[in-house]
């Protein structure tokens, strides 16, 4: 999610959240420092595996300047299906699980987690396809009815949250993962960046998501 906010007309034109370094033996607590442009820089520690020893320093910079760049848009291969994100995603996954590998025919999938109400259909109407997963459950993948490109998914029957496939954006380079998950099945030739948290399976949402995203998630799911 590092390169997202320049693409959105939000109050924050720049919001950089990145892992800087491990802080061993440092007390917890957030610090907020004012910036010359009227924004703030927030320093916070988020546990990567539930222990103080694994705490890490995250820096979040916010600027009050408005962006003039357009929102992110994307679509299928044939052009029949078009969509627009009306805000930044809550979080961005790079998933290396076997299900995602099989369903995409690739090494991983990059999913933008966002409220369904913030995904605006500009053209077309995706078709939902029920797809089995290894554990026996089904989830729905939404595809263009003509070219069959998958644009997003629903998991666990929760239609309030969409997992939008970042590669269907007109400019996928604007998106970068916030976390790598299910790396236990990661293909061996993929080298993960040290600056992005990675987990053999899933992670603790409360420990990793930014406060703003947690608030959006709570408002959505309760």
Distance (Å, whole) CA 38 – CA 124:
42
pLDDT of 137 reads 80
pTM of this structure? 0.69
The DSSP result for 93-158, as a single string, is EEE--HHHHHHHTSS-EEEEEEEGGGEEEEE--PEEEEEE-TTS-EEEEEE-TTT--EEEEE-TT-
Task: Give the mean pLDDT of 95-100.
Answer: 95
Closest CA to 199 of 104, 128, 94: 94
pLDDT of 71 reads 78
Question: Is it the case that residue 210 has pLDDT exceeding 60?
Answer: yes
Domain limits, the chain: 5-62
Residues 6+ apart with CB under 8 A from 152: 119, 126, 141, 142, 162, 163, 164, 165
């Amino acid at each position: 999610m590092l390169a997202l906010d320049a693409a959105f007309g939000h109050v924050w034109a720049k919001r950089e959240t990145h892992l800087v370094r491990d802080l061993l033996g440092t007390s917890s607590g957030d610090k907020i420092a004012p910036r010359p442009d009227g924004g703030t820089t927030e320093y916070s520690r988020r546990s990567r595996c539930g222990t103080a020893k694994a705490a890490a320093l995250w820096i979040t910079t916010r600027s009050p300047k408005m962006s003039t760049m357009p929102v992110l848009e994307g679509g299928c291969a044939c052009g029949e299906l078009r969509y627009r994100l009306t805000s930044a995603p809550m979080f961005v996954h790079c998933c290396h699980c076997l299900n995602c590998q099989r369903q995409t025919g690739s090494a991983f999938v990059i999913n933008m987690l966002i409220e369904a109400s913030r995904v605006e259909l500009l053209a077309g109407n995706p078709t939902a396809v029920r797809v089995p997963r290894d554990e026996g459950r089904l989830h729905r993948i939404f595809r263009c009815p003509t070219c069959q490109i998958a644009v997003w998914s629903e998991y666990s029957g929760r239609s309030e949250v969409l997992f939008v496939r970042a590669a269907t954006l007109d400019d996928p380079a604007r998106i970068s993962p916030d976390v790598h998950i299910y790396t236990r099945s990661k293909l061996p030739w993929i080298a993960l960046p040290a600056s992005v948290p990675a987990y053999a399976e899933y992670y603790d949402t409360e420990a990793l998501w930014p406060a703003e995203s947690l608030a959006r998630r709570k408002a959505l799911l309760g």
